[in-house]
Amino acid sequence: MIIILVIFFHIIIFQWLTRKKKNVDGKHVVVTGGSSGIGLWVAINAVRKGADVTIVARNVRILEKAVAVIKENCIRDDQKVEYYSLDLSKEHEIIEKGFNDIEAKLGDIYMLVNCAGQALCGVIEDVKPEDARFLMNLNYFGTLYPIQYVLPKMKVKKDGIIVLTSSQAGLMGIYGLGPYSAAKFALRGLAEALSMETKHLGINVTLGLPADTDTPGFANEQKSKPKITQEICSGGGLFKPEDVGKKLFEDALKGNFFSILGFESWILSILCVGMSPWKNPLLGILQSYVMGALRMISFVIQWNFGRIVKKYYQPKEKTN
């Protein structure tokens, strides 16, 4: 019995060590949210590997500027970089038409990176219903619809790469980020199901789990972010979009399910690993061994978060 287990394990480790990285050279990569922050750096990394790239976002002026920056990073003259202006928080038909146009221009999509997203902060009762819906429409449905668009062809070709950008706030609900956290949790469920539906076909699925990253979007959300939220999130560190974008791109080519940057994020991802798919057997063993101890450490961390909440908490005046 033990011998069979040992042989089985060696086969898995061997498969993992000899796994093939996917290659985007000459292929069409679409990055939603590719005009700014993390998405822009994913797009830059893609052209550096020889891909044709389409970036998708709303603001045309910023898209044009981003295309110029991305073009500077191309490694060949014949590489194409295009943009498409689309509001991803809109209905399915609008997204579908947009993606039709995008494929008509640069061909079938080999790699889809969903990076378009926004955070709106506030304690749960303060978030306007329309804002909560917007967060779900953009972060969740704005990722689901493009995935639904690319899947049929990827399944026929038995090849392709899909990236969903969640957050550390998609592993752990955080004070002042409730509706945003909920949308990012939804992406994790989607990514797990997607991985189960596509793994046997050789399609890579990667879930990005960034901590705070120094982007224009981050600077903007800081303005309305409660102090408590800022202090809790600072426990995960602040990262550069170039590092997060590069790591996300590399993890996607390798087919890693989680894309993590930073020690605290890595620890949290082990604690929250649940039934997520795994490919790295050594990481699997590590997770199995340290999970219990991490749960104990998490009590101390949660106690500390509770202390932060009490420190800043200002009771509101009674309204009736």
Ligand X SMILES: NC(=O)C1=CN([C@@H]2O[C@H](COP(=O)(O)OP(=O)(O)OC[C@H]3O[C@@H](n4cnc5c(N)ncnc54)[C@H](OP(=O)(O)O)[C@@H]3O)[C@@H](O)[C@H]2O)C=CC1
Ligand Y SMILES: CCCCCCCCCCCCCCCC(=O)[C@@H](N)CO
| Active-site annotation, residues | 166, 180, 184
- In whole angstroms, what is the distance from residue 118 CA to residue 60 CA? 18
Give the strand pairing for 28-32 and 109-114.
parallel
The entry of ligand X, ligand Y, none that residue 87 binds, CB within 5 to 8 Å by partner kind = ligand X
Of 151-190, binders to ligand X (CB under 6 A) are 165, 167
Q: Kindly identify the residues of this chain, within the stretch 17-36, that bind ligand X according to CB under 6 A.
A: 33, 35-36
Query: In the structure, how many helices (H) and strands (E) does the chain have?
Result: 12, 7
- Return the residue of 29, 30, 39, 42 that touches ligand X, per CB under 6 A: 39
DSSP for 184-201 reads HHHHHHHHHHHHHHHGGG
Q: Match 């020889």 to its residue by tokens.
A: 50
- Catalogue the E-assigned strands of 89-245: 109-114, 161-165, 204-208
CB of 196 to ligand X, least distance (A): 23
Q: Contact between 297 and ligand Y (CB under 6 A)?
A: yes
**Residues in 97-116 that interact with ligand X by CB under 6 A:** 115-116
CA distance 3 to 291: 26
Three-state SS letters, 199-219: HHHCCEEEEECCCCECCHHHH
- For residue 37, the partner it binds in ligand X, ligand Y, none, with Cβ less than 5 to 8 A by kind, is ligand X
For residues 55 and 67, the answer to whether their CB atoms sit within 8 Å is: yes
- Which partner, ligand X, ligand Y, none, binds residue 298 by CB below 5 to 8 Å per kind? ligand Y
Residue nearest to ligand Y (CB): 236
Closer residue to ligand Y (CB): 236 or 255: 236
Interacting partner of 207 out of ligand Y, ligand X, none (Cβ under 5 to 8 A depending on kind): none
- Among 7-15, 28-36, 232-240, 244-252, which window interacts with ligand Y (CB under 6 A)? 232-240
Q: Does 37 bind ligand X (CB under 6 A)?
A: yes
- Phi, psi for residue 10 in degrees, rounded to 5: -65, -35
240 touching ligand X, by CB under 6 A: no
Give the footprint of ligand X on residues 74-93 (CB under 6 A): 86-89
**Residue 37, interface with ligand Y (CB under 6 A)?**
no
Q: Does 306 bind ligand X (CB under 6 A)?
A: no
**Lookup: tokens for 113:** 């990176």
- Residue 118 binds to ligand Y (criterion: CB under 6 A): no
Q: What is the side-by-side strand order in the sheet with 81-85?
A: 81-85, 52-57, 28-32, 109-114, 161-165, 204-208, 258-259
Give min distance, CB of 304 to ligand X, in A. 21
CB of 99 to ligand Y, least distance (A): 26
Do the beta carbons of residue 48 and residue 79 sit within 8 Å? no
* Among ligand Y, ligand X, none, partner that 30 touches (CB below 5 to 8 angstroms by kind): none
Q: How many Å apart are CA 62 and CA 60, to the nearest integer?
A: 5
Q: How many residues lie near ligand Y (CB under 6 A)? A: 21
Residues of this chain that interact with ligand X (CB under 6 A) are 33, 35-39, 57-59, 62, 86-89, 115-119, 138, 165, 167, 210, 212-213, 215-218, 241
